[in-house]
Amino acid sequence: MTRREWMSRVGAGVTAAALGSGQTQEAPGADARDADITLRIQEVELELDSRHSVKTIGYNGQAPGPLLRVREGRSIAVDVVNDTNADELVHWHGLHIPPEVDGSHEEGTPHVPRHGQRRYEFTPRPAGTRWYHTHAMAGRNLHASTYTGQFGMLIVDSSNEPGAYDLEVPILLHEWDPSFAKDGPMDVEYKYLSINGKMLGGGEPIRVKYGQRVLFRMLNASATEHHQLALAGHRFRVVELDGNVVAEPRTVPVIELGPGERADAIVEMNTPGVWILGEVRDRQRNAGMGIVVEYAERGGAARWLPAVSTWDYRAFGGQAIAPEPDGRIPMVIRQPEGGHHWTINGKSFPKTDPIVVEANKRYRMIFDNQSAEAHPLHLHRHTFEITRFDKQATSGVFKDVVVVPAWKQVEVDLIANNPGLTLFHCHQQFHMDFGFMALMQYSG
């Protein structure tokens, strides 16, 4: 049975349940003149549970936005209608598409004008768990950009998926009602946390049956926060990171995701009961970051069990030796004392040095984090391979976001195979808005 058939039998119902009013928007034939997908950016009153709701900006009257499912290699047209008072951009995170439609102002993508609309046309690739989100700048405005509900999952299906699972469940993390911390005026804190737009207990449970294999597609759509997830009574077999198959699938108790990262994991449903899938840290889970997983014919209060993280990208890597790169791109990351700007090699965007590459050559980005914070570093329009993590070589873990821990070094290799301006930045919104960006450009 193909993945597509699974989806039509069970998956569509599951995703609709997990995302509330969410629904898959299928791309019809390429000859259709109407848009395949329409996204309307508009204000949303999001009910987190029966006692809490927030006003935010979302897509098509919901947050998260609709789960989009498209076919790899089949061109689509997306009409984005902007009902808000601010110019917007939709970034297709993880896709290898041209800068004109990638959704980055810095790369030259035109805005979707306030109270206007714009069509994005592109051919989705590569296959995997991708996502879409606003790429507007927020600065100190915590009611803009990725602080809002402008995010959703985008699944790019290939024609030859094995489909070795019975059920597919998206898990999207986000926080709401942000403010600046009183004791640290540059730290953002949040009142409510959610999975799939609901606080723990506020939405429908994920309903499973004994013996099922469930594929969880997890996305950290937070503007600023790193998260750790566990499913009480169960373990995750991680098969993909950022939507890309890993060299060595491994079973782990806890999955860690920086802002922008995804993990796809299969769970064998072999411990009947009513359980919590949620943030490992009590404070985060109690603020709403959890969802109930309920076996058929089981009832009672949902149980939580503490879990300890063993997370390490290298666990999913192989032993292959990376070829010598054609060029090395060292990047030293610092936050000069007393300021809140970030620097790459001593400069803040837009003054950061351009990263110049030649088409079809291999480059090694060498990240040296000289700061006390972990940074989720994202390269647009390309996929990179982690080749060294904290002084240890690794291979076969392909990503578009890599978390570089405080005071550590990480190296990634990329093949420059998608000419055009390409944005590199920290996915922590408050970091990217304060200088932590650079542009990669192709020479000749």
Binding site for Cu ion (CB under 5 A): 375, 426, 428, 431
Residue 375 or 382 having the CB closest to Cu ion: 375
Instruction: For Cu ion, give the closer residue by CB, 211 or 350.
Output: 350
Tokens (6 digits) for 44: 């949303």
Tokens representing 110? Answer: 């035109």
Q: State the nearest-atom distance from the C-beta of 402 to Cu ion, in Å.
A: 12
Pairing relationship of beta strands 384-389 and 392-393 according to DSSP bridges: antiparallel
Residue 401 beta carbon to Cu ion: minimum distance, rounded to whole angstroms: 11
What is the maximal distance between C-alpha atoms in the chain? 65
Question: Of 235 and 431, which CB lies nearer to Cu ion in the complex structure?
Answer: 431
Q: Which is nearer to Cu ion, 91 or 375 (CB)?
A: 375
Helices and strands (H and E) in the chain: how many: 5, 32
Nearest distance in Å: CB 268, Cu ion: 36
Q: Which residues contact 155 (CB under 8 A, 6 or more apart)?
A: 67, 68, 69, 70, 128, 129, 130, 217
Q: State whether residue 10 is helix, strand or coil.
A: helix
Asked whether 72 and 127 are in contact (CB, 8 A), the reply is: yes
Q: Cβ(273)–Cβ(226) under 8 Å?
A: no
Q: Smallest gap, in angstroms, from Cβ of residue 390 to Cu ion?
A: 17
Nearer to Cu ion, 107 or 433 (CB): 433
Judged by beta carbon, residue 46 or residue 223, the one nearer Cu ion is 223
Q: Give min distance, CB of 259 to Cu ion, in A.
A: 9
C-alpha–C-alpha distance, residues 189 and 58, integer Å:
20
Q: Hey, is 245 helix, strand or coil?
A: strand
Tell me if residue 127 falls in helix, strand or coil.
coil
Please count the residues of the chain: 444
Least Å from the CB of residue 236 to Cu ion:
26
